[in-house]
Amino acid sequence: MERGLPRHLDADDFARLSKRVVRKLDLLLLPFLCLLFLLNSLDKSNVGNAESGHFTEDLGLPKSALNVSVAWFFAVFVSCQPIGAYFGRKYGMARYVPAVMSLWGVCTALHIAVQSQTQLVALRVLIAALESGFYPTTVSYLSLWYTRYEFGKRLAFFYGQAALAGCFGGLLSWAVFSYFPHEDPTPHVAAARWRSWEVLFLIEGCLTILVAFVGFFWLPHSANTAWFLTTDERFVAEERIPDIQERRASNVSESRPSLTLEDEEADYLLPGAEITRPSPRRASHASVTPVTADSGVSREDIFSAIADWKVWYLLFCNILSAIPATAFAVFLPLVIKGIAGRDDLGPAAINLLVIPPFLAGAVILWIFTWWSDKHRIRLIPILYGLGILLGGLAATVALPTHAYKLRYFALTVLLSGSFVASPLTVTWLSNNIPEPGKRAIVLGINGWGNLAGVISSMLFAPKYANDGYIVPFYVTLVCVLTAFVGYLAFRALIVAENGRRTRIVAEWNDEEVRHEAMFGDSAVEEKGFWAFFTRICRLNNLREWLGVDRLRRGDEKLTFLYSL
């Protein structure tokens, strides 16, 4: 019998049940989470589709009202991301997300009652606050169920809903605007006098409320409460997530094995150490809860997330690289109208043209994440995705404004690379942060990448529509180029950090390695730049003031190597 397995299960049974668990997760949990994100993306961006159906015109609002409401939305959405992530982790995905989703579904439907710009802005701000914790909470929840190199492809299917939401939103808008043309707002429901955009908001709002209600019963709090798993499958779902080092030999080998980043489980210099279990001197929340539990966060998690330089570095790169995706999620119908060069294109036709670019974005995202998981790399696919994005941007700004078809094709290429960087950045963070509580807070901070939405709302303003949005495209090109250089430098920094840790640990004996891997408090102190950085920022003084210990956890341990 394998160590740690029940008497009636051997290693073959574990492998067979593990495949069955993954299959059930892929068929029952992942699609439902994707549906949630699809509706989240629709409710976030539907004002752009509504505007192509004369939303602000029918209300007598200035065209700038849409940009103002989008700017306010992303400002609040970004500001509340870590707070939303905290509450999502505190109360658990299975309760928090369906609750806030029901409320923002009501707010989506309430767009039909808007009468002024103030009311529009207030409604979008309320939706932003409610949606702010959705993405980090859901991604953190998803990462609890899959191992590291199962996660990338699944996150692609999840994040790909942002692109599919553009396709679905465009298709739904085309159907609604065709059935309720603007020229005659009452061809089918004469008594109610429904406008096309009112029908759009009602359909999407009611659909969100319905799916949120189902979510209360569908989403398990952990593997131990998963209605779709048997007793043995629940055990396997828990045991397959921690790093396999803990299930390998419990004693240190005579000759320490060399580390290869190609090995999925080779994140630590000591494969035999029980590195992710809490120290007996300081028990953690993880010691009394399942590995897949959807709640639990500590002060140490929060401090470690905020003090991690990599989080802020990637946030900066993510903001710049996400400008095209966030901009076109809302403004693509208006941009297509601006570059089409034809005034006879109605709302239905414009929304139909939205579908190919978003579909291309979803396909490229899935291809790149499949490649990323297969070769167990994250940063190189990000760079290739940004390269495609830069090519599309360069073509868009270089082509003459009267080359409408070529510019539309360039726009499609641009969207193809727009959705790669953000999800693979999240995947890199999730893969390299073993502590679930810290991971949830980090993903919340990374959610500030939606500041790109504030930037895009100012860039793609109505005043640039007449010249085909040339100025916004130039600015976006510079931002994405800066992000490309930033990710390239980040990879070099991570390689250097892995080398530094390897050199430090190479000087230790086996007992020191084991002690660091288990407790994170080796007597060996940090030296060089990181020690200087700690002194300058007075992190140790801040730890004492906040009551946070100096133990190194998760990726802070010197025995941890980052994957690339």
| Predicted local confidence at residue 391, as pLDDT | 92
**What is the C-alpha separation between 32 and 30, in angstroms, rounded?**
5
Q: Which residues of 332-341 are buried (b: 16+ CB within 10 A; e: fewer)?
A: bbbbbbbbbe
pLDDT tens string 429-459: 988 888 877 888 888 888 788 788 778 878 8
Is residue 525 in a domain? no
| Predicted local confidence at residue 382, as pLDDT | 94
pLDDT tens string 15-47: 888 899 999 999 999 999 989 988 888 887 778
Is residue 530 in a domain? no
Is residue 65 in a domain? yes
Determine contact, residues 223/232, Cβ cutoff 8 Å: no
| Predicted local confidence at residue 186, as pLDDT | 43
pLDDT tens string 124-148: 999 999 998 898 888 888 888 888 7
CATH of the domain at 436: 1.20.1250.20
Residue 357: strand, helix, or coil: helix
Is residue 437 in a domain? yes
Determine contact, residues 10/2, Cβ cutoff 8 Å: yes
Residue 329: strand, helix, or coil: helix
For residues 305-330, give the mean pLDDT. Answer: 87
**Average pLDDT over all residues of the chain:** 78
Q: What are the C-alpha distances in Å from 41 to residues 117, 135, 235, 556?
A: 22, 10, 34, 34
Is residue 502 in a domain? no
Provide the token pair at 248. Answer: 């390998």
**What is the C-alpha separation between 378 and 372, in angstroms, rounded?**
6
Residue among 527, 526, 524, 525 at smallest CA distance from 509: 524
pLDDT band at 320 (very low <50, low <70, confident <90, very high): very high
Number of domains making up the chain: 1
Question: Is pTM beyond 0.75 here?
Answer: no
| Predicted local confidence at residue 200, as pLDDT | 87
Scanning the structure block, which residue is given the tokens 């609604």?
A: 176
pLDDT at 152 over 70: yes
**H helix intervals, 60-147:** 64-79, 81-91, 93-109, 117-131, 134-143
**What is the C-alpha separation between 159 and 137, in angstroms, rounded?**
13
Is residue 488 in a domain? yes
Of 78-87, 180-189, 312-321, highest mean pLDDT? 312-321
| 159 or 539, greater pLDDT | 159
Angle between the 470-506 and 451-459 helix axes, to the nearest 10 degrees?
160
pLDDT band at 550 (very low <50, low <70, confident <90, very high): low
Is residue 518 in a domain? no
Least confident of 98-112, 270-284, 466-480: 270-284
Scanning the structure block, which residue is given the tokens 């401090």?
A: 303
Is residue 152 in a domain? yes
Domain that holds residue 69: 11-225+308-493
Of 39-43, 86-90, 156-160, 481-485, highest mean pLDDT? 481-485
